[in-house]
Structure 1
């Protein structure tokens, strides 16, 4: 693996927004160090976007450390890739943190009495987004991009302030505005601040950059995978999930077993138990895209039960 920190000007990417991303990181390094002497907290899964983010951090020469949330449902190949990369980062002198979940995916499903839905992604809140003591008050850097979804297009930006105690409300703002920079740096001192240097990058930008700098990516991309999120995530749509379950059938089996546990945990006279006779039936219903997108009366009955 190539983790060279030096940057050869002859190898600079052509027409890529890497320079702007580095300027943003260098601009806020002082504020980041004031918040935490370890520097920026790079929240990474070691997928393609966070790999590019990490490379930009090292290129920028800013102080930072790496944090990875263990979900228990990531692709095995990505897990091995992440472990190897974290060892390489430690060899270079960087701090790394692997954050263990409080409840496993399967425990969460039984606690919530349902499998996750696109509009009820309790797994993301618990496995990826919950505050981690390892992060402290550090500025978070993430590989999120606005072009990944319509929701991120509206709600994510280069600079973000998350006001604690206000239902997780985000104040988002682009970097190229002096007033926004002032607000981000001086105000909301107790809030969580996030810097997303590749917020405006496209898929082409990511792959062009990786190719130009010789940045190794997870081998699963060579197999045709375009996203390396949690296995079975409903955001991937049915075709994507079927591809994942064909590749890793043990995860499909675990979802079916968990679905059966959810049914068995219900009272005998409960509607949910009457609707699905087995974990397989519940799983088959859950896999439908229409189920995820169009809430009908039956689905609302199921959702309301755990709220």
Structure 2
């Protein structure tokens, strides 16, 4: 059973975020929805909180069919309740794109070192709003030592600043009625209508999430019943090698699509006079093997990215 204080804190955080969105942005809070278990919990908490909000799903173009099905089913239910639920289609340099076209344009596969796919498909889809995410500290070491609220530093996560719920609640108590410049970064961010993030379930464990789902009979992505612990992009560069191997077995058509994209990528690289600095990229199949083997292949973790299209 989930500790009631965690549920109360999550709902309070959502209500504070909604108030900031209304007072400073004159727009509803945006609840992001990926189709994963954390998003389902976040969405249920938002519904229970009584706040007004919108729901946004960022299309990655490489989500599993099961995920797309779950998102579509959930969004239909939300729209039936009168809630604005919409999808954000990815774009690059002002044009629509997908993962495979992006690989060709960037000239290298996405890797742990350079995750350009995240910036295009996820991090740039909602800007200058108050956004609720299902991020939790238990998901990775990189997410430790953060807080429930944060600012992104003009879109640069490396410059993000973090704030506790209690601090945000205190500094925003009278912020709307004061005209003077505030020293607090998060109030200044709100006054400029820049991005503010709230992570209501940041302190929740995996067992908390599943207990809440089971206790509230929440419908979830069927991938979890297929052995998946996390759902996301098929063959995500951040996934473990064993997880990538499973993806190749479960979704063989995506393997073919990646190889085809790598073939086109090599053709473009050749036209631009870019050498294969790894010594392993003879064809699309070879690039795929280099890419999928993770750190076990020499050069994968120390690739020279100087020629990448950084825009």
Same-fold status (TM-score > 0.5): yes
Matching of residues 53-64 of structure 1 within 5 Å: 53-64=42-53
- The partner residue of 1:275 within 274, 280, 288 is 280
Instruction: State how far apart, in whole Å, the 2-side matches of 1:36 and 1:106 are.
Output: 36
Task: Note the C-alpha offset of 1:31.
Answer: 1.6
Residues 291, 25 of structure 1: alpha-carbon distance in 2 compared, 3 angstrom cutoff: same
Cα separation, 1, equivalents of 2:225 and 2:300: 36
**Structure 1: which 4+ aligned runs deviate by more than 6 Å?**
165-168
For residues 241 and 160 of structure 1, what CA distance do their matches in structure 2 show?
32
Task: Choose from 123, 132, 135 the match for 1:129.
Answer: 123
- CA 142–15 in structure 1, closer or farther in 2 if over 3 Å, else same: same
Is 2:164 the counterpart of 1:161?
A: no
Q: Residues 260 and 213 from structure 1, CA distance in 2 versus in 1: closer, same or farther, beyond 3 angstroms?
A: same
Q: Give the deviation of 1:277 after TM superposition.
A: 1.4
Per the alignment, residue 289 of structure 2 pairs with 284
Aligned length in residues? 288
Cα 1:63–1:293 change in 2 (3 A) is farther
What residue number does 2:140 align with? Answer: 149
Q: 1:33-182 alignment to 2 at 5 Å?
A: 33-102=22-91, 103-132=97-126, 137-154=128-145, 156-164=146-154, 169-177=159-167, 181-182=171-172
Q: Could you tell which deviates more after superposition, 167-176 or 228-237?
A: 167-176
CA-CA distance at 1:165 after TM superposition? 7.1
The 3-state SS of whatever aligns with 2:86 is: strand
| Runs of 5+ unmatched residues, structure 2 | 92-96, 173-183
Distance 1:293 1:202, change over 3 A: farther
Gaps of 5+ in 1: 1-12
What TM-score, normalized by structure 2, do the two folds share? Answer: 0.85
Q: Give the superposition deviation at 1:26.
A: 2.0
Q: What is the root-mean-square deviation of aligned Cα atoms in Å? A: 2.4
Deviates more, 1:54-63 or 1:186-195: 186-195
Please tell me whether the aligned partners of residues 152 and 161 of structure 2 are also in contact (alpha carbons under 8 angstroms).
yes
SS of residue matched to 1:271 = coil
Partner of 1:230: 233
SS in structure 1 at match of 2:288: helix
CA distance in 1, matches of 2:206, 2:57: 22
Alignment partners' CA distance in 1, 2:11 and 2:285: 49
Which residue of structure 2 aligns with residue 6 of structure 1?
none
Secondary structure class of the residue paired with 1:234: coil
Check 1:265–1:226 CA distance in 2 against 1; reply closer, same or farther (3 A cut): same
